[in-house]
Amino acid sequence: MSINLFFWGILIQSLCAIIPLIIKNENRYSFLSHFGALLGIVFSLLGTIGNLVFGSSGLIYIGFNPYWNSLNFRFDSLSTFFVLLIQILSIPALLYSFSYQKPYIASGKKVKLYVFSFIMLIVSLQLLTVANNAVLFLVFWELMALLSYLNMVFENEKSEVQKGSFIYFVATHLATFLLYVFFLMLHQITGSWNFSEFHLVFNSTPQYYLLFALGFIGFGIKAGFMPFHFWLPKAHPIAPTYLSAFLSGVIIKLGIYGIFRVFEFLKPTDPILGWIVLAISLISAIFGVWYALAQHDIKTLLAYHSIENIGIIGIGMGIGLIGMAYSNQTIIILGFAGALFHTVNHAIFKSQLFIGSGIIYQNLHTRNIEKMGGIIHYAPWLSVFFLIGSVAISGIPPLNGFISEFIIYNSFFKTAGYFGNYYPIFMLIMTVGLALVGGLAVACFTKVNSIMFLGLPRTELKAFHVSRLEYFSLGILALMCIFIGIFPQPVIAFIIAVLQGMPIVNSFGNDFSVISSAFPAFSPFTMIFLSLILFMTMTFLFKKFLSRKSRIAKPWGCGYQHLNERMQYTASSYADELNLIPSNILMIKKDAVVPEDIFPKAGGHFHSHSHDFAEEVIVRPVYSKIIKSINRIVFLSKNDIRVYIAFILIALVSYLAFAFFWKF
């Protein structure tokens, strides 16, 4: 019953996606399809929740004849978790998409394609996570890649959009290619296409390590782990903001979903793999946030923060892997729970921050934070919501980011305690690494908040418009941040339920009390945070009561009278001292022309920019090599269709010959 509700919801959403193709009036179809899709999501959300409560995790066949039975869906706990994440997060994304399209529609832009592809994207994401069949999965995976590409070229007249979306296109197909190989190899070993039958027994033959590498890199490209992250900071800034929010909040999490599936299929029992994942994740976390600190473009900055948070999620997964290697259920639970919890949290606050940055972009028409400032005086509530998101993403109590980082910290202490030996030293390094990430995140988000919102406006601001709908979608997300921070218990209970259903956890027994005993106690937090907030409110009110004498004056400039907005501290000077430390890796290029003479005639300028190490050192050389080798065979390219058909024929024949002689 509840499953039917889910698929009816999907059907409604798909129908709403087609509305723009039927109705001519732009405003009308935008309204109808967005809110219709919202209705559809509510339906399918109810279906998922119903399924979670009444529990039927069996296979669901969609089809009319027995040959179609291979196309099946399954609501196991991991799928349910990610489907719920997608459905809940797509509500604010849809609301924001609706209000994002409005000014474009008003200016006469045709948004048919974008509305269609965004709603279809949500549909394909939901189906992707519940697909139980590798072929079906890959179909939806490809659909997801194509539909998000279609959305990404929203402002396709800009050259940076064309470039960035191309990089995304290439990266996502690289991932898909690796996944094809991954699933083909799995099929070859198990003889099945179904996820539920991909159960291997890990042994230390090279084949398994290859499988692990393929799966991890394939999904890791999507998730944005550090050496494979190069597309993220290119694709996010150019995408329309509703898509960036969705991309960062949800789509890159599907990489995490995939990696969890890889763990489930392979059941790796080698601690080395755990260490590799941990190392990659720690590097992603530290350098993700450090690159973020060096950015001026708010959306690039947030994209790098996604890499940082994916790194934190990956740390949890790495700990879980180590637990799997030693068959220690407590460690597995703590690690994976930390990863899942941070997935939820990051989805919430990153959507919030992206939506906030999108609102600012629509008002100021710039993404450069050096040109912002003083927005707090124009839109105080926007800055409150953005501040809540920033505090949460920095992992600071009393908001939700702290809780997930707390679980991950706890997993370090538990891992060191259980395994002894050299583990304490490495776990200490992880602890300090995570603390460093926290400190850098504080530096970065104080920078973002103070340069964007505080101080004086650096460019003239006449009006700042934030619609009610935008406030509403920001408000829901902010409330979620606060609620989960103070009352983490419901989310923990949900994650325990998810863990109970995961084969890698419940192979050790899925007793609820045993699993929940692995967690640290969260009850102190509720009390401490509530009393902290109460105390703050009381102190604030008391202060207000006492300070009847207060007045407004000019800021104190240490004797200088003519402070203006150009004299404020800038984002690059704020972060300069920290950025100079790994300046070789951040590849910061500074270009300064100092004006000469006492009364300079020509103006000087200063420009600093950080280049991505992975892009400059790995991707670009490889890319240029490929281009070079392609240039060598360019003589084959004749503008004659018959030649191409001949090529296709040759390729086909040689492939068949290869398949014939090479028996799999």
Partner 1 sequence: MEKLISVLIYLIFIVSAPLFIGIVNKLKSRLTGRLGPSIFQTYFDLKRLLRKETIYAQSASFVSRIAPVVSFSSILFAGMILPIGFYKPLISFNGDIILFAYLLGLSRFFQILGAMDIGSSFEGMGAAREATFAVFAEPIYFFTLGSLAFIFKFTSMYDIFHSISLNDPSFIIFIIVSAISVFFLMITETSRMPVDDPNTHLELTMIHEVMILDNSGLDLFLYQYSSYLKMLVYATFAADFFNPFNVQNHIIGFLLYIIILLILIGNLVWIETMMGRFRMKNIPRYLLFAASIGILNLLIYTFFNK
The smaller minimum CB distance to partner 1, of residues 185 and 578, is found at 578
Closest CA to 400 of 315, 495, 328, 466: 495
The minimum distance between CB 577 and partner 1, in angstroms, equals 5
At 198 the three-state DSSP class reads coil
The minimum distance between CB 550 and partner 1, in angstroms, equals 4
The minimum distance between CB 406 and partner 1, in angstroms, equals 6
DSSP 493-549: HHHHHHHHH-HHHHTT---HHHHHHTSPP-HHHHHHHHHHHHHHHHHHHHHHHH---
The smaller minimum CB distance to partner 1, of residues 528 and 659, is found at 528
The smaller minimum CB distance to partner 1, of residues 57 and 489, is found at 489
The minimum distance between CB 305 and partner 1, in angstroms, equals 16
Closest CA to 443 of 481, 509, 393: 393
The minimum distance between CB 181 and partner 1, in angstroms, equals 41
The phi, psi pair for 515, rounded to 5°, reads -65, -45
The minimum distance between CB 347 and partner 1, in angstroms, equals 21
Contact, 473 vs 448, CB < 8 A?
no
194 pairs with which residues across the strands? 133
The smaller minimum CB distance to partner 1, of residues 384 and 618, is found at 384
The minimum distance between CB 311 and partner 1, in angstroms, equals 17
What distance in Å separates the CA atoms of residue 568 and residue 447, rounded to the nearest whole number? 13
The smaller minimum CB distance to partner 1, of residues 203 and 547, is found at 547
What distance in Å separates the CA atoms of residue 57 and residue 204, rounded to the nearest whole number? 32
Closest CA to 160 of 237, 246, 74: 237
The smaller minimum CB distance to partner 1, of residues 235 and 437, is found at 437
The smaller minimum CB distance to partner 1, of residues 283 and 578, is found at 578
What distance in Å separates the CA atoms of residue 181 and residue 178, rounded to the nearest whole number? 5
What distance in Å separates the CA atoms of residue 482 and residue 402, rounded to the nearest whole number? 11
The minimum distance between CB 301 and partner 1, in angstroms, equals 15
Residues in the chain: 664
DSSP 402-425: HHHHHHHHHHHHHHHHHH-TTHHH
The minimum distance between CB 489 and partner 1, in angstroms, equals 15
Task: Write out the H or E segment, with its range, that includes residue 44.
Answer: helix 26-54
Contact, 571 vs 451, CB < 8 A?
yes
The minimum distance between CB 598 and partner 1, in angstroms, equals 23
What distance in Å separates the CA atoms of residue 441 and residue 575, rounded to the nearest whole number? 12
**Could you tell me if residue 558 is left (phi over 0), alpha (psi between -120 and 50 degrees) or otherwise beta?**
left
Measured distance between the N- and C-terminal CA atoms of the chain, rounded to whole angstroms: 42
The minimum distance between CB 318 and partner 1, in angstroms, equals 18
Contact, 317 vs 273, CB < 8 A?
no
What distance in Å separates the CA atoms of residue 4 and residue 405, rounded to the nearest whole number? 37
The minimum distance between CB 5 and partner 1, in angstroms, equals 40
What distance in Å separates the CA atoms of residue 22 and residue 406, rounded to the nearest whole number? 51
The smaller minimum CB distance to partner 1, of residues 463 and 521, is found at 521
The smaller minimum CB distance to partner 1, of residues 86 and 289, is found at 289
The smaller minimum CB distance to partner 1, of residues 547 and 639, is found at 547
Q: Which parts of 157-270 fold into alpha helices (H)?
A: 159-190, 206-223, 232-238, 241-246, 252-266
The minimum distance between CB 519 and partner 1, in angstroms, equals 10
The smaller minimum CB distance to partner 1, of residues 27 and 539, is found at 539
The smaller minimum CB distance to partner 1, of residues 241 and 568, is found at 568
Write out the two tokens for 249: 């909040």
Amino acid at site 258: G
The minimum distance between CB 162 and partner 1, in angstroms, equals 37
Residue 540 CB contacts under 8 Å (≥ 6 apart), including other chains: none
Contact, 504 vs 267, CB < 8 A?
yes
Amino acid at site 563: L
Contact, 485 vs 501, CB < 8 A?
no
Residue 96 CB contacts under 8 Å (≥ 6 apart), including other chains: 241, 242, 245, 355, 358, 469, 470, 473
The phi, psi pair for 297, rounded to 5°, reads -85, 120
The minimum distance between CB 256 and partner 1, in angstroms, equals 23
Torsion angle of C-alpha atoms 333, 339, 342, 344, degrees rounded to 10: -90
The smaller minimum CB distance to partner 1, of residues 66 and 420, is found at 420
What distance in Å separates the CA atoms of residue 358 and residue 598, rounded to the nearest whole number? 43
